[in-house]
Amino acid sequence: MPPGTPPDHQNVVAEWRAVAPGGPVFGVDPTSRRELLREDHPQFNHDGGDLAFGPDGMLYISDGDGGEADDQGAGHVPGGNAQQLTSPLGKVLRIDVNGSNSANGQYGIPADNPFVGVAGALREIYAFGFRNPFRFSFDRGTGALYLGDVGQNDIEEVDIVVKGGNYGWATKEGTLFFFNNGAGAGFASTTDNGLVPQGAIDPIAQYDTHHEGHSVIGGFVYRGSKFPQLAGRYVFGDFARLFRFPAGPNDSGRLFYLTQKNTKPGLRQINELYVPGQPPPGQQQRAEARESSYGSLPHGNREPQVGPPAVRGAAQRPGGHHLWGR
């Protein structure tokens, strides 16, 4: 934060010890609290974030870019917090809760974190370039890290996060180029802004803000047996198709799933998942994974043209919007 400017709040990661490990009904020992880390958050919004232990036993932490809009304003560095390796904001962090080689001695920095040894970089960073990474999860079958990153004004996206990956915010939004537009509303465009870093990673799926939802949340790859039609598919939610901020109610959330099970180049198609009500006692709930027969919406509601984005890095990503409406 600039000198003399207090943050809106602080984000804290703390640990408590279970009274009886393996018996969650017994709760935690309230006197066992240990603070691992604390960070300033400039504004009230973009406070999505998640905690989860990965298959490697390390703790992963997602954090928004600090708030406001377009990753700019008080508490945001030129070019945006999400692109700066000196800031924890707009990142996925990875720490060892049993270690002690961090700056405050309260947790460990895994030796194989991607920016260990990079001058000036926070060693906790696992991946960067996120706006508001609300929720993430690990696929129990493959270990892949799926993350929902809330868009600014045009694109909601789903990412597969890899070590050291840069997901492009605030130089791009989804597969499109992002323009912060000064004091005006930022927007996504197919026009190259000349700012996207070499090797920036595109999402595996995206859909239009305002047309199909307002805030991608995230979800899980289904590995159960009750609904075989969803086996191996990523199932996720959006907060509200109708966003009635601040009065509400925001009661029009939606469930989606990705139609492709396996990783392929380019964007995957998104379909809506229908769950018809709550079943009567003793009856099995039914989920319908329907294929839609409607055409795709244009990608980005500000510029309704369809076409591939320009080449970024060594390979071109197919463009186009891949959510099919009801």
Contact 169/197 with Cβ under 8 angstroms? no
Q: Same domain, yes or no, for 248 and 221?
A: yes
For residue 217, tell me if it sits in a domain: yes
Predicted confidence at residue 226, as pLDDT, reads: 93
Check pLDDT > 50 for residue 59. yes
For residue 240, tell me if it sits in a domain: yes
Q: What are the phi and psi torsion angles at 296 (to 5°)?
A: -80, 150
Q: What is the residue-averaged pLDDT of the chain? A: 84
pLDDT average, residue stretch 62-80: 91
For residue 5, tell me if it sits in a domain: yes
Tell me the C-alpha distance between 50 and 215, whole Å. 15
pLDDT digits (tens, 9 = 90+) for 173-222: 999 999 998 888 999 999 999 999 999 999 999 999 878 888 999 999 99
Predicted confidence at residue 252, as pLDDT, reads: 75
Q: Is the dihedral of CA 220, 226, 227, 232 positive or negative?
A: positive
What range does the domain containing 52 cover?
1-128
Work out the angle at residue 124's Cα, subtended by the Cα atoms of residues 123 and 128, and round it to the nearest 5 degrees: 100
Q: Same domain, yes or no, for 173 and 30?
A: no
CB atoms within 10 A of CB 11: 17
Q: State both tokens at 136.
A: 């993430």
Check pLDDT > 80 for residue 166. yes
Q: Which of 81, 103, 128 is the last residue of a domain?
A: 128
For residue 118, tell me if it sits in a domain: yes
Q: Same domain, yes or no, for 40 and 116?
A: yes
Q: Same domain, yes or no, for 29 and 172?
A: no
For residue 133, tell me if it sits in a domain: no
Q: Same domain, yes or no, for 113 and 14?
A: yes
Q: SS3 for 13?
A: strand
Predicted confidence at residue 57, as pLDDT, reads: 98
> In terms of pLDDT, which residue wins out, 315 or 123?
123
Predicted confidence at residue 141, as pLDDT, reads: 96
pLDDT digits (tens, 9 = 90+) for 222-279: 999 999 999 999 999 998 877 777 777 767 789 999 988 766 678 999 999 987 764 4
Q: Same domain, yes or no, for 201 and 270?
A: yes
State the residue for tokens 């995957």.
Answer: 268
Q: Same domain, yes or no, for 12 and 92?
A: yes
Q: Same domain, yes or no, for 124 and 155?
A: no
pLDDT digits (tens, 9 = 90+) for 309-319: 333 332 223 33
Q: Which of 128, 153, 181 is the last residue of a domain?
A: 128
In what helix (H) or strand (E) does residue 238 lie, and over which residues does it extend?
A: strand 234-238
DSSP string, 38-93: EEEESSSS-----EEE-TTSPEEEEE---SSBTTBSTT--TT-GGG-TT-STTEEE
* C-alpha closest to that of 230 among 147, 289, 159, 307: 289
Predicted confidence at residue 322, as pLDDT, reads: 31
Residue 16 belongs to a domain with what CATH number? 2.120.10.30
